[in-house]
Structure 1
Amino acid sequence: MFKNISAALGFGGAKVDTILDRNEVLQGGLVSGYVKVIGGKVDQSIEAIIIKLMTKVKQETGDNIEFMDHVLAQYSISEAFNAAAGVEYRFDFEFDLHPEAPITTLAVSNNQCVVWLDTELDIDYAIDASDKDVIHVLPLPAIANIMSKLIEDKDLKLVKSDMESGTISMPGFTNESGAYQEIEFRKSSIFSRGELELSFAIKGDTLYGLAEIDRALRGDTYKRFDISINASEAEIDDLVDYLI
C-alpha cells in the first residue's frame, strides 16, 4: 500500500525518457526517436504517452511582458498499457515538425525563441512523469538565403526574434497555432534609421511572408508575399528588392 501511495505522489513511479535521433531539425523536417519508459516500484496503468511540441510566446499586459508556455502540436504515441514494476519499454515515434514552429538557431543575442518536446505519461490517480527535450530548429535554405541577402546586400542587422501571440492572415494562408515568429532587423549604419520585422509561414511548397517596414519620417508599411520554398536565386533577389 505504501508503495502505491508513493507512486501516486511521484516517488518510485514509472520514469520516462525521450531520446531524439537528432536534436537539430530543419523547418517542417522529420522529428524522430523513441520514448523509454521504466516501470517503477509497483505496477502502474499508463493511459497514454503524450508528446507536446512546445514554445514560448510573448504576452503583453499593459507595461508587463511575460513569456508563456504554448502548445504548437500534440501527439499520442501509445495505446494504454500496464507498466510492470522494473520493466523497460520502448516506443518509437516520428512526425513532421509543425510548420509554424519558430527558427531557434538565428545568430542574434536577443533570441527569445525556443522549441522543446514535453513528454508525459498519462497515469490515473498519480502525478504524471515527464521529460523535456530541446529541439534546435534550422531555417529552410530559402529563408536563410533571404535573411543573408537582407544582411549582406541591404545593410541590415539581425537584432531580435520572438514568438508573438495572435494570428497572421494573407491570401492563401492563415496561421493555426495561435502564435507566429517575428524576426526584427535594423539598419546597421548609425547614420540610418529603419526597421524591418519579418514573419514567415510554410504551407506545402509555398513560403508565405508578412513584412512590417518602419521607415523614418514615412511611417509603417506592410507587405505580404509568397514564394516557392525552392525559389531560384533570381527570385529571392527580386523579393529582397521588393522588401527594401
Structure 2
Amino acid sequence: MFETLLASLGVGSAKIDLILDKPYVTAGEKVTGKIIVKGGSTEQTIEGLSVNFKMESHQAANLNKITEKIAAISISEEPFTVQPDEIKTFPFHFTCPNHIPFSSISTKYFFDSDLEILRGIDSHDRDYIKVLPTGMTKLFLDGLDLLGFKPKWEALTPEQGRWGQIIHFQPTTHFAGKFNQVAFYLQPGTSDQELEFYYDFIMKVTEDHGALFELFHLNEKEGKYTFTADEISSPEQAKIKIEALIKSSLLHT
C-alpha cells in the first residue's frame, strides 16, 4: 500500500526510455528504434503511450524561441498493466517529414515520449535527433562547404504555412576577408527539380569609402536565384555555380 502511494507521487514509478537506432535521419526517411517501459516498485496501469516529434529554434524577426510540435505518434492507445520491474518493449518507427528545416545552429529536433500512468505522475523521455538536409538543399550546402563557408548564425521565418531558413555564413578560405556577411534564405524540400533561394552579400570596403558605401548600400548585393537539378547534380557542380554567382556579385558592386 505504501509503495502504491509513493508510485502515485512518482517515486518508484514506471519509466519510459526511447532508444533510437541512429541519432540522425535524412528528411523524408524513416526513424527506427524501440521504446522500453520498465515497471517500478508496484503494479501500475498505463493508459497510453505516445511520442511527440518537436522542433525548437528561434524566429528571425525577433529572436524569440520557438517550440513546435511537428507530429504526434501513437504507440499504444489500449490500457495495459506493468508489473514491478517488468520490462515491456515496443517497436518505434516514424517517417520524418520532407518539408521541414534541417538541423542547424539554432534549429534542433527531439522526440518527447509520454507514458500516461493511471493515478500517477506521467513519465517522460526526451531524445534529440539531427535532421539532415536532402536533395538539392544538401547539394547546395555541400557546395558552400567546399567553398569554405561555415554557418555562424541561423533562424527561421514563417512563409505560406512553412518555416523558411535564414543562414549567415562565414568565409574561411575562398572569399575570406571580402565579406561582412553572406546570407541565404532557403525553403528546404520545396522541389526536387529546382532550388529557389534569396541571397544577401555584404562586402567589406576600405575605410576611405566605408561610410559612403554603407550609407547608400553600395557594398550590398541581394537578389533571388534558382538552380536547376541539371545545374547542381553534385557538390562540385554546386560549388562552381555558387562561386560564379558570388564573383558576379563582386564585379557588379
TM range (shorter): 0.7 to 0.9
CA contact (8 A) 1:201 1:207 kept: no
Are the counterparts in 2 of residues 52 and 72 from structure 1 also a CA contact under 8 Å? yes
| More deviation, 16-25/53-62 | 53-62
Query: Which residue number corresponds to residue 85 of structure 1?
Result: 83
Q: How does 1:1-244 map to 2 (within 5 A)?
A: 1-59=1-59, 65-86=63-84, 87-104=86-103, 111-140=105-134, 142-153=136-147, 157-164=149-156, 166-169=157-160, 174-175=161-162, 179-187=163-171, 188-203=175-190, 205=192, 209-215=196-202, 217-218=217-218, 221-223=222-224, 225=226, 227=228, 232-233=233-234, 236=238, 240=242, 244=246
- CA gap of 1:184–1:232, structure 2 versus 1, over 3 A, is same
TM-score, normalization: structure 2?
0.72
Aligned length: 227
Percent identity over paired residues:
23
Cα shift at 1:59: 4.7
Shift of 1:23: 1.5
Which has the higher Rg, Structure 1 or Structure 2?
Answer: 2
Give the direction of change, closer, same or farther, for the CA distance of 1:94–1:158 in structure 2 (3 Å limit).
same
Q: Distance in 1 between matches of 2:118 and 2:109?
A: 28
Tell me the secondary structure at the aligned position of residue 201 of structure 1.
coil
Shift of 1:2: 2.9
Q: Distance in 1 between the 2:7 and 2:230 partners?
A: 49
- Distance between the aligned counterparts of 1:95 and 1:224, measured in 2? 34
* Contact 1:54–1:117 (Cα < 8 Å) also in 2: yes
Task: Provide the C-alpha distance between the structure 2 equivalents of 1:81 and 1:229, rounded to a whole number of angstroms.
Answer: 53
Residue 198 of structure 2 aligns with an amino acid whose one-letter code is A
Question: 1:125/1:197 Cα in 2 relative to 1: closer, same or farther (>3 Å)?
Answer: farther
Q: CA RMSD in A?
A: 3.4
CA distance in 1, matches of 2:231, 2:91: 31
SS where residue 4 of structure 2 aligns? Answer: helix
Offset of residue 199 of structure 1: 2.0
Mapped to 2, the partners of 1:19 and 1:230 lie a distance apart of 40
In 1, Cα distance between equivalents of 2:245 and 2:6: 60
Q: Deviations over 1:31-57 (max 9, x none)?
A: 011111112223322222111112222
Q: So what's the TM-score if we normalise by structure 1?
A: 0.74
